[in-house]
Structure 1
Amino acid sequence: MKVAKFMERRFLLIIGFCSLIFLVLVMDKNAWGQDAQSNVKYNLDNLISIAEEHNPVLKAAQEQLNQVRAQELQSASQLAPRLDSSLTYMHQYGGGMTDSKYRDTYKAALTLTHTLYSGDGLEASLRAATLNRQALEADVLRTKQTIRNDVQNAYYDLQRARAQLQVAQESYDLALEHLKQAQSLYNQGVVAINEVLRTQVDVSSAELNLIQAKNGTQVALSALEKAVGIPLSHDMVPEVAPKEESLLILPQIDPYSIALQYRPELVSLEDSRKAAEELAKAAAGQARPNIYLQGEVSYYEDEFFPNEDDWNVSIIASWRLYDRGEVKNKIEENKAMARELLARIDDLRNQIRLEVSTAWQNLESALQSVRVAEDQVTIAEEDYRMALRRYVEQVGTNIDVLDARTALTDANTNFVNAIYDAYSAYSDLIYAMGIMDESVFDDLNENEAVNGEVAK
């Protein structure tokens, strides 16, 4: 009996232990997957590809494009024949005014209808739908370029925040090292206690800057996650050391002319303008004669399923003689829309010129800032080294060291900002010109070279 109870308890214990393991595995399933995912490294190209797949704004734009494509197919279906089927039952009470062969009548029919002539109304509607679809495709392309630019800028902002965190960490380490030196000199009776206190205040300030830099990296990572559309971690995005020589590779060509050639908004507005003109033609078609061909074969009898067939073929012509100016006003409405879009195209060209010019000037300014900031860092490092050496030898003061370290921190921060300002400005220039990447520059250079040889 005791053995049986022991075996029963042991069995229950094993069952409970297995259940506990199962629950732990189920509850930690997401954590296991997250750990495996955290080993994946995403560079900038990977992040852009992921954003194009997961960004909800681009998904919404794609679905809107699918709607317009469906509308285009609907317009195309208006030009095709239509085949309808019908099944009718009718019961007649009394004689009435009409004579019917049967009191209970069943009718099964197939009706074919086809438009022979619509006054170019249906054809113009189809052309307008096609142009609207092309305009929206250009809008989707611009949305994709916007997302790409957002991801690039968010990526550069994250790298900027990481670099600023490194600068803050280095400044904090230098402050601690200086505090040790000041404490050592105070213990030796060389300096007063106020220099130690002043250095401790400077250490606290450096620690606060370090905390703010850490928070800045978290905010930058959250911005990158929003742009990409999936959760990330710092380990997923490797830190890339920037190189000044890789910042800018541009052809000797007017960026404004490139923008006029590649900006999708210009294509979108031009297609929308043409679509408005086609809608005006479609409206004008309503005032012209419309001719339809209609054929019907039917089975008509007093029992189901009827077997006596009947058929007819009709040609129907309709012409609207008076509509109190409805068609005329529709035509004028669409023509006015076309003129409005034409004016918007002119305004967009001016806006593009401003955007390209601003992006180009920002890039030139950022590149100049990189060179100046780099020289500033070199000078600040030497100044801090000399100030610290003079202080250790008691030739300089503690304030000189604190000022030199502040200047060094500012110089490093300015250098980081200048570098990533140049990266962001380059991305904005690409975005302003309406191209997807720098590979277009290679094609433009090749075309220029070919045209130069032909000119010679």
Structure 2
Amino acid sequence: MKRRTVASLVAYSSLLTTWAFAQPEAPAPAAAPQPPASAEVDAAPKVDEAAAVLAPAPGGLTADTFAERTVASSHTVRAKLAELDASRARLNETTAQFFPRLTGKASYTRLSKVESGLGGALVGAQNPGPLGVGPCPGNPAAQCVLDSGGVPVGAASFSFPSLQNMYALSASLTVPISDYVLRLSNASAGASANRRAAELAVKAEKLKVRSDAQALYYDWLRAKARVAVAEKSLERTRARVKDAKPAYQLGVITKADLMRLEALAVSTEQVALEAKTFRDLAERQMAILMGDKKTKTFQVGEDVNAPRRPIPGELDDLTDEALSKRLELRALTEASRATRLAAKALKVGAYPRLDAFGDVTYANPNQRFFPQEEKWKATWSAGLVATWNVTDVFIVGSQSSQLDATARSLESQRNALSDGIRQEVAAHYLSRQKSEGALTSARRGVAASEEAYRVAVDLYRVGKATTTEVIEAETDLLAARLSEINARIELRIADVRLRHAVGRDVP
């Protein structure tokens, strides 16, 4: 939530005080009739309007409830959750890359018809042994080529069948042996670190959204209290203007006194208007952050005057605690580690790789059998294969260098974040100290301003105080009460910010 409007209210109140002191005093008329007094207006205010409007109501909205609803509907948290899902998917992908690769294949091939004859004829003998020439059985007058058993040798035409349809079913299993030895540990550790970084980023984003929501809640309370204080001051000023008009007609006060009162009423009305604008804007922002489609008027459910939770520790101790607890630092550490492990796993790609393989083929006809037949037959094979792609040496080197550079960038970001956290802790620690002192001073200022207002009103009743003095007292009282509200709320916000900066909101 922007603090510009809040700051403008304080500045505006200061301007009112300065303006009132700058006005020349109207001389008190000697022996003149006393100005009319209104018990409702002149009595010093005894009711704390801010406490009344900030009183917790049963079932009202608290800072913790608002923060929980904001986290549940936060789009930035959902974006971090989506990144976490992506990192988990990458871890599963990395694990699956090292599974033995099983491939199945089914195919049909239509082949063109070819002539596979070798020409001539194939000579065959029934009995083994040397061949000879002798009378042909059944025709002794003719000579025949006889085998060792005296059986004539025959000759037949020879050709291979031309099969035009081929069907095949095959399965192949590849086991990356070298990856198990060289890449598995780094790759799986890197993917796990990347997942942890995403988980820490989700938790850190939830805590940030939560602390921002709590700060917005207290800003809303500040605006509600400012509206109540400004409207009460405006009510008193308008009543005084109303009573001053007949006094002016009777000559008890001058026209300048009347105009000063009217100017004060207009200025106070502007302060109230700015406070209402800030309150309405805060309520609209709260409704949007909680996912409500329509703006609602929320009831206060938290007692801002209740004792605050202590945050013990000196600045140096709190800084060391923050550097050890903040989830953002741990997330960057894991991200850098994941990147360096990925670079190590990638560098292995430049080495020769060794794979084991096994194949099973069930085909019709099966190419391993001779001659080919239109029958389904199965065969298998297994072995080892070593490969080395020389070109990958240069590609992998460049890719690993990119990852190393990314890791250095993440480490530099972590160092920068560490410096930022040191500054953040110091700023909120000192802001908390300042707010504690400011609240003590503001409460004394309210007590003094209320007493000064009472004295000014009493003197005004008896004609011993001018209108300017009453205006100054009213302006001082308004500024004091606004400052007290601001200091009280700033202290609550400083507690929230410091607790988050130190990491004490980490569950």
TM-score, normalising length from structure 1?
0.79
Alignment match, 1:158: 220
1:283 counterpart (326, 330, 346): 346
Deviation of the 1:306 alpha carbon: 8.3
1:265-304 matched pairs, under 5 angstroms: 265-301=328-364
Deviation of the 1:96 alpha carbon: 9.6
Alignment match, 2:235: 173
Deviation of the 1:287 alpha carbon: 2.3
Residue 176 of structure 2 aligns to a residue in which SS?
A: strand
Deviation of the 1:412 alpha carbon: 0.8
Alignment match, 1:123: 185
Identity of matched residues, %: 24
Deviation of the 1:199 alpha carbon: 2.1
Take 2:322 and 2:114, find their aligned partners in 1: how far apart are those partners?
79
**Which stretches in structure 1 are left out of the alignment for 5+ residues?**
1-38, 441-456
The one-letter amino acid of 1:77's match is: A
2:175 counterpart (87, 104, 114): 114
Alignment match, 2:156: none
Q: Is the 8 A contact 1:154 1:227 kept in 2?
A: no
Q: Is the 8 A contact 1:132 1:275 kept in 2?
A: yes
Alignment match, 1:333: 402
Alignment match, 2:4: none
Alignment match, 2:80: 61
Alignment match, 2:300: 238
The one-letter amino acid of 1:413's match is: L
The one-letter amino acid of 2:234's match is: Y
Greater relative contact order (Cα < 8 A, sep 6+): 2
Take 1:166 and 1:195, find their aligned partners in 2: how far apart are those partners?
26
2:165 counterpart (91, 97, 104): 104
Alignment match, 1:262: 325
373-382 or 286-295: bigger deviation:
286-295
Deviation of the 1:323 alpha carbon: 4.1
Over residues 208-261 of structure 1, what are the superposed CA-to-partner deviations in whole Å (9 max), with x where a residue is unaligned? 322222111111112323443434655434254422742x50123511111111
Alignment match, 1:362: 431
Deviation of the 1:302 alpha carbon: 6.2
Q: Classify 1:226/1:158 alpha carbon distance in 2 versus 1 (closer, same or farther; 3 Å).
A: same
Count how many residue pairs are aligned between Structure 1 and Structure 2. 397
Deviation of the 1:186 alpha carbon: 4.1
Residue 236 of structure 1 aligns to a residue in which SS?
A: coil
Q: Is the 8 A contact 1:376 1:411 kept in 2?
A: yes
User: Is 1:149 matched up with 2:240?
Assistant: no
RMSD across aligned positions (CA): 2.8
1:32-43 matched pairs, under 5 angstroms: 41-43=60-62
Residue 495 of structure 2 aligns to a residue in which SS?
A: helix
Take 2:460 and 2:87, find their aligned partners in 1: how far apart are those partners?
74
The one-letter amino acid of 1:274's match is: R
Deviation of the 1:187 alpha carbon: 5.9
53-62 or 286-295: bigger deviation:
286-295
Take 1:161 and 1:179, find their aligned partners in 2: how far apart are those partners?
26
Alignment match, 1:79: 98
Deviation of the 1:382 alpha carbon: 1.0
Residue 300 of structure 1 aligns to a residue in which SS?
A: strand
Alignment match, 2:275: 213
Take 2:318 and 2:409, find their aligned partners in 1: how far apart are those partners?
27
Q: Is the 8 A contact 2:442 2:484 kept in 1?
A: yes
Take 2:350 and 2:162, find their aligned partners in 1: how far apart are those partners?
42
Deviation of the 1:85 alpha carbon: 2.5
The one-letter amino acid of 2:426's match is: S
Alignment match, 1:250: 311
Q: Classify 1:110/1:100 alpha carbon distance in 2 versus 1 (closer, same or farther; 3 Å).
A: farther
Q: Classify 1:351/1:176 alpha carbon distance in 2 versus 1 (closer, same or farther; 3 Å).
A: same
Deviation of the 1:307 alpha carbon: 4.7
Take 2:92 and 2:109, find their aligned partners in 1: how far apart are those partners?
37
Residue 85 of structure 1 aligns to a residue in which SS?
A: strand
Residue 124 of structure 1 aligns to a residue in which SS?
A: helix
Q: Classify 1:395/1:122 alpha carbon distance in 2 versus 1 (closer, same or farther; 3 Å).
A: same
**Which stretches in structure 2 are left out of the alignment for 5+ residues?**
1-57, 117-159, 367-373
Take 2:349 and 2:401, find their aligned partners in 1: how far apart are those partners?
14
Alignment match, 2:141: none
TM-score, normalising length from structure 2?
0.72
Deviation of the 1:172 alpha carbon: 0.9
Q: Classify 1:206/1:339 alpha carbon distance in 2 versus 1 (closer, same or farther; 3 Å).
A: closer
Take 2:299 and 2:67, find their aligned partners in 1: how far apart are those partners?
12
Take 2:349 and 2:473, find their aligned partners in 1: how far apart are those partners?
82
Deviation of the 1:418 alpha carbon: 1.0
Residue 98 of structure 2 aligns to a residue in which SS?
A: coil
User: Is 1:378 matched up with 2:447?
Assistant: yes
Take 1:122 and 1:267, find their aligned partners in 2: how far apart are those partners?
24
